[in-house]
Structure 1
Amino acid sequence: MGVCFFYINFEGGFKLDNVIVAKFGGSSLADSKQFLKVKDIIKSNSNRKYIIPSAPGKVHKGDHKITDLLYMCYQLASHRLNIDDVYNIIEKRFLDICSDLQLELDIQESLDHIKEKIQMGSSKDYAASRGEYLNAIILSNFLDFNFVDSKDVIVFDDKGEFDSKATEIKMKEKLKNIDGAVIPGFYGAKSNGEIVTFGRGGSDITGSIVASSLDCKLYENWTDVSGFLMADPTIVDTPRPIEVITYKELRELSYMGAPVLHEESLFPVKNKGIAINIKNTNAPEHAGTKIVNDKYPIENTESITGIAGKKDFTVIAIEKTRMISEKDFLRKLITVLETNNISIQHMPSSIDSISLIISASQLNSKLDKVIEEIKIYCNPDSIIAYPNMALIAVVGRGMIRTKGISSRIFTALSQSGINIRMITQGSSELNIIIGVENIDFDKSIASIYKAFEK
C-alpha cells in the first residue's frame, strides 16, 4: 500500500502527494451490504483519505432513491401536506443500515431534526441534500474517519454561484490536520449558512472539487459499471471497455450521446491535470477507465477509442455558385438560425455548397419558415432538406498519425450495404463524423465496431 506525504507549498497552503479522493455513488451505498464493500475498498489502500458519498440509491429495481423521496417530502410540506408516509421510508433505510452494520450511532436524532426542518418550510436544496449528509455521517462512523460537513468547505456566493477560490482556501485550511475524512457530496453553502446544491451529477462535482482543491494524485469515481465502453452495449454485444481516454476524447463522445460523467465534474480536475479513474464497487478488481490529460502518450495507434452517435437530425443542403465570394453569406445564413433560436450541430461545406445539420427537436415546426427565410436573405440556387438523418462519431487521438483508419471505417460500412450521406472531420483530426439514415444507425455502429474489434 502507498504512503501519504504532506508538505508545505510556497503559497502557505499544503499539497497531498499520493493521496486519493474517492467518490461513491448511490448504488455503491444503497444498503449495508454495499457499505461493507465500500469499507473493504477504502481499507485496501491507505492512500484513500477523503471519501465523498452520495445519498443511498435504489436497492432493487422497484425501489426509490433517497433523494427522490426527500424531494417528495419537500413538495408535500410546501403544500402543508403530511410527509409521514414518505419520510418513514427514508427513516427505515438509514436505521436499517445502522442496525445491520451494528453501529453505535444515534442517527434517529438527526432524522428527527431533518424531518422537523422540512415540515417547518426548509428550502428545497436543504431537503434534497440530507441524503448525502446522513450517509456521510454513517460512513464516517463506520470507517472511523472524521466527518466534515460540505457546508463548511464548499462555498457558494450570495447569488448561489460556486466560488472555487474561496472553496480551495477553506478546504485546505479545514483538512490540513485531518488524516481521513468523509465529506458529503452534492451541496455546499452560502456565507449565511444557506444550503445550495449542485445540479445533475452533484456528488461527482463535489469529488472533483475536493481533489482539485487539495491537488491530489487521483480522483476515483466508484459506481456500478466498470468504466466506459467502446460502443453502446444495446447495439454491440459485449463491447470492449475503454482502458484510457483523454478529456478531449471524452467530450467528443459525450457530445454525441455516450453516457459519461457530467461536464461540470470534469473541469476542476482537468484544470489541475488530475486523473480520474471510473471504477466498479461491485467489481473492484477491474481496472476501470482512466481519464487522463490530453498529452498522455498514445498506446495503441491501430485502434480507435470509442464510437457514439445520435439519431433524428435534419440536413439542410444549400447550393449557390460563387458562394465564398459573398463576404456576408455566412453571416446572413447564421442570422436566420439565430433569430429562430436554432443551434447548428455541424456545418460541412465545399466551394459552392454548405450543409446545416440541425437536431430535429430544435427545428420542430420551424423548418418551412427557416427555408423560406434562407431563400429571402441568401438567395441560394437550391435548398433541400433531408430529414431522418443520424450522426455517428468515431473518436480516437491515434487517427491523426495512423494510415488506413478512414479506409477501415468506410470499407466496413460499404460491406454492410450502408449508404454514407455525409463525412466531416474536425481540424484536430480527433474524430470522424459520418451521416447515415436513421434506419441504418445501429447497423453502422455495429459494423464500425467490428472493424476495430481486435
Structure 2
Amino acid sequence: MALKVTKFGGSSVSSSKQFKKVKQIVEADPDRRYVVVSAPGKRFSSDSKITDLLYLLDAHRQYHVDASNVFKLIRERFLEIKEELGLKTPIEKELDAMAASLNSMSENEIVSRGEYFCARLMAEYLGFPFVDAAEVIRINHDKSIDWDATRARLKAVMNEYPHFVFPGFYGMSANGKIMVFSRGGGDVTGAILANIMEADVYENWTDVSGFLMADPRIVRDPQPITHITYSELRELSYMGASVLHEDAVFPAQENNIPIHILNTNRPQDAGTIIQETSNVPRRYPITGLAGKPGFMSIYIYKKHMSNEIGYMRKVLSVLERYNVSIEHIPSGIDSFTVIVSESEVADSLYEILHEIKRQVDPDEIKVQDHIALISTVGKTMSHQPGTAGRLFDALGREKINIVMIAQDSNEINITVGVNEKDLGRTIEVIYNEFVTKAEEQRAAL
C-alpha cells in the first residue's frame, strides 16, 4: 500500500461545495491517509481570503480599532461551512474564546487560526482525527525547521493514528509560541510531512491542472507539462512560472518524493508530476518557457582586461556592497555585462556607477534598462543539436533584437534578454518554434 500526503490549498477548501470535492477525492483513493489543509480562500473574485481577513483583524487590534465587523466575517465563513455540511464540531466556542482573548494573542497566532479552524471542520467531515500542527511542527528562532524534534513528534502521531487531518502554515517555536511560515506555507507543511513520513507521493491540490508550457495570458491554450524535473522547475520558477511555494520543493526533493500538482475542480486531469529524474518520453524539444521584465544591464569594457587579475571581482564587490543580486554575467575577452534587477538599483545606480569607475577605471561603461529575460528550459535540449540555433534563428526572422544570451552549464536553460516591449512576442515565437511546429508536423503525418 502506497502512502500519500495530500495537501489542499485555499481555493480547494473555500466553501462547503469545495469541502465535498475534497471528500470525494480523499475517499477515491485509500492511499490518501494524511490530509493537510490551508485556510479557506476566495469563493469568487470579489471575495476575501480568510488569511487576509485575519491579517486585517490583527491590524485593527494593533491600532486599537474596532475589529468586530472583521471578526464577524471570519466567524460567519466558518459557521456557514459547518452548518451547510451539518457538522457538530463546536467551533463557535473556540471562535468566541478567540474574540475574547484577541488582545493577548500574537499576530502569528491570529493568522494561524484560518488553517486551524478549517482543519477542525475538515477532520470531522472526513471522519479523520485532527492533529494540531502546533503539537508537531517545531520551528527554530531563525524560522528553520527543527527536524529532529518534528520527526520524533510526527512519528509518535503516526503510530497513534493511521490517518489524520493537519493544518498547514504554522508550527510552534522552542519557547511555546505559534510561528507561521511565509504566505503559501501550507505547501511547506505538506512537504515536511511527506519528507518525514517517507511518502510515496506528495499530492498538492489547487485550482489549476499543474504547470503549462507558457503563460496562457501570452500563448493561447499552451500545452500542459505532465512531467518535469526539480531542476527544470527551479529554472522556470525563478522566472515566476510557479503554482507551488518554492520552499515546498526542497523537503520532497531531499527524499526524492514525487510532487503531483492536481486540480480539485478537475480531478480527472493528469496534472504535473515533479521528480528528480523522469524517463517519460518528452513530446517536445523543450519543457517550458517563462519570462519577466524589470532588468537592467551594466556593460563594462576595458582594453586588455583579461590581463588584469581581479578586475571582475572588484566590480562585483561594488554591487555586493550595495546589496545588489547578480542575475547573469555574459562576458567577452575585454568586456562583460552584469544583469541586475532594476528595482534593486533604483535608488543607488549613480552611486554604483561612480564607484565602479573609481575602482576599475573602465574605458567604457554603458547602462541599458527595460530589459526582459526569457528562459527556455528543457533537460532534453542538450541531447538535441541545433536547439539554440533554432531559437536564435526564429527570433531573428521576427526581427527581435537579443541584448543578452546566457546558457546554463547543464544545458537545460537558454536565457535571452530582449527589450521589455518584446517580452510577449518573444515567448510566442519560441513556443511556436518548438511546440506549435511539432504539433503541425504530427498532424501532417
Relative to 1, partners in 2 of residues 1:66 and 1:441: Cα closer, same or farther, differing over 3 Å? same
Aligned residue number for residue 130 of structure 2: 147
The answer to whether the Cα contact below 8 Å between 1:306 and 1:396 also exists between their aligned partners in 2 is yes
**Equivalent position amino acid for 1:250 in 2:** L
Aligned residue number for residue 6 of structure 1: none
Relative to 1, partners in 2 of residues 1:282 and 1:321: Cα closer, same or farther, differing over 3 Å? same
Aligned residue number for residue 338 of structure 2: 356
Aligned residue number for residue 52 of structure 1: 36
Aligned residue number for residue 6 of structure 2: 22
1:151-166 equivalence runs, <5 A: 151-157=134-140, 160-166=143-149
For residues 175 and 417 of structure 2, the distance between their equivalents in structure 1, rounded to whole angstroms, comes to 52
**Farther off after superposition, 22-31 or 370-379:** 370-379
1:424-446 CA-to-partner distances (Å, cap 9, x unmatched) read: 11211110011111111110001
**Equivalent position amino acid for 1:412 in 2:** A
Select 1:203's aligned residue among 168, 186, 201.
186
**Equivalent position amino acid for 1:130 in 2:** R
* Cα shift at 1:158: 5.2
User: Is residue 178 of structure 1 aligned with residue 176 of structure 2?
Assistant: no
The answer to whether the Cα contact below 8 Å between 2:37 and 2:166 also exists between their aligned partners in 1 is yes
Q: TM-score, normalised by structure 1?
A: 0.93
Select 1:112's aligned residue among 96, 115, 128.
96
Aligned residue number for residue 445 of structure 1: 427
User: Is residue 347 of structure 1 aligned with residue 329 of structure 2?
Assistant: yes
Select 1:336's aligned residue among 318, 341, 354.
318
Aligned residue number for residue 57 of structure 2: 73
* Cα shift at 1:301: 7.4
**Equivalent position amino acid for 2:419 in 1:** E
Q: Secondary structure at the match of 1:146?
A: coil
For residues 73 and 300 of structure 1, the distance between their equivalents in structure 2, rounded to whole angstroms, comes to 49
Q: Secondary structure at the match of 1:108?
A: helix
User: Is residue 38 of structure 1 aligned with residue 18 of structure 2?
Assistant: no
1:271-350 equivalence runs, <5 A: 271-293=254-276, 295-297=277-279, 299-300=281-282, 302-350=284-332
For residues 155 and 26 of structure 1, the distance between their equivalents in structure 2, rounded to whole angstroms, comes to 23
Q: Secondary structure at the match of 1:452?
A: helix
Relative to 1, partners in 2 of residues 1:32 and 1:363: Cα closer, same or farther, differing over 3 Å? same
For residues 173 and 191 of structure 1, the distance between their equivalents in structure 2, rounded to whole angstroms, comes to 19
1:131-170 CA-to-partner distances (Å, cap 9, x unmatched) read: 1111101001000001001011101235654212211111
For residues 347 and 193 of structure 2, the distance between their equivalents in structure 1, rounded to whole angstroms, comes to 45
User: Is residue 217 of structure 1 aligned with residue 207 of structure 2?
Assistant: no
1:285-319 CA-to-partner distances (Å, cap 9, x unmatched) read: 001011111x3336227520111112122211112
**Equivalent position amino acid for 1:315 in 2:** S
Q: Secondary structure at the match of 2:35?
A: strand
Aligned residue number for residue 409 of structure 1: 391
For residues 312 and 145 of structure 1, the distance between their equivalents in structure 2, rounded to whole angstroms, comes to 47
For residues 301 and 398 of structure 1, the distance between their equivalents in structure 2, rounded to whole angstroms, comes to 10
User: Is residue 256 of structure 1 aligned with residue 239 of structure 2?
Assistant: yes
User: Is residue 190 of structure 1 aligned with residue 183 of structure 2?
Assistant: no
For residues 330 and 336 of structure 1, the distance between their equivalents in structure 2, rounded to whole angstroms, comes to 10
For residues 371 and 108 of structure 2, the distance between their equivalents in structure 1, rounded to whole angstroms, comes to 40
Select 1:433's aligned residue among 400, 415, 426.
415
* Cα shift at 1:31: 0.5
Q: Secondary structure at the match of 2:385?
A: coil
1:76-127 CA-to-partner distances (Å, cap 9, x unmatched) read: 2233333221111111111111111112332211211222221x32011110
For residues 373 and 84 of structure 1, the distance between their equivalents in structure 2, rounded to whole angstroms, comes to 54
**Equivalent position amino acid for 2:60 in 1:** L
Select 1:398's aligned residue among 380, 395, 401.
380
Q: Secondary structure at the match of 2:224?
A: coil
| Coordinate RMSD, CA, aligned | 1.5
Q: Secondary structure at the match of 2:374?
A: strand
Relative to 1, partners in 2 of residues 1:420 and 1:78: Cα closer, same or farther, differing over 3 Å? closer
Select 1:230's aligned residue among 213, 216, 224.
213
**Equivalent position amino acid for 1:236 in 2:** V
**Equivalent position amino acid for 2:426 in 1:** S
The answer to whether the Cα contact below 8 Å between 1:332 and 1:377 also exists between their aligned partners in 2 is yes
Q: Secondary structure at the match of 1:147?
A: coil
Q: Secondary structure at the match of 1:238?
A: coil
The answer to whether the Cα contact below 8 Å between 2:300 and 2:366 also exists between their aligned partners in 1 is yes
The answer to whether the Cα contact below 8 Å between 2:210 and 2:243 also exists between their aligned partners in 1 is no
**Equivalent position amino acid for 2:405 in 1:** I
The answer to whether the Cα contact below 8 Å between 1:420 and 1:435 also exists between their aligned partners in 2 is yes
Q: Secondary structure at the match of 2:252?
A: helix
**Equivalent position amino acid for 1:336 in 2:** V
The answer to whether the Cα contact below 8 Å between 2:406 and 2:414 also exists between their aligned partners in 1 is yes
- Give structure 1 stretches of 5+ with no counterpart: 4-17
1:214-246 CA-to-partner distances (Å, cap 9, x unmatched) read: 101000010000101111111111111111111
Select 1:423's aligned residue among 395, 400, 405.
405
The answer to whether the Cα contact below 8 Å between 1:78 and 1:121 also exists between their aligned partners in 2 is no
For residues 299 and 62 of structure 2, the distance between their equivalents in structure 1, rounded to whole angstroms, comes to 52
* Cα shift at 1:26: 0.7
Aligned residue number for residue 243 of structure 1: 226
* Identity fraction in percent: 44
Select 1:131's aligned residue among 114, 119, 123.
114
Aligned residue number for residue 14 of structure 1: none
For residues 415 and 160 of structure 1, the distance between their equivalents in structure 2, rounded to whole angstroms, comes to 50
Q: Secondary structure at the match of 1:291?
A: strand
- Give structure 2 stretches of 5+ with no counterpart: 440-445
1:35-88 CA-to-partner distances (Å, cap 9, x unmatched) read: 000000000000000000111111111111111111222222233333221111
Select 2:251's aligned residue among 268, 284, 301.
268
Relative to 1, partners in 2 of residues 1:226 and 1:85: Cα closer, same or farther, differing over 3 Å? same
Aligned residue number for residue 82 of structure 1: 66
* Cα shift at 1:408: 2.1
Q: Secondary structure at the match of 1:176?
A: helix
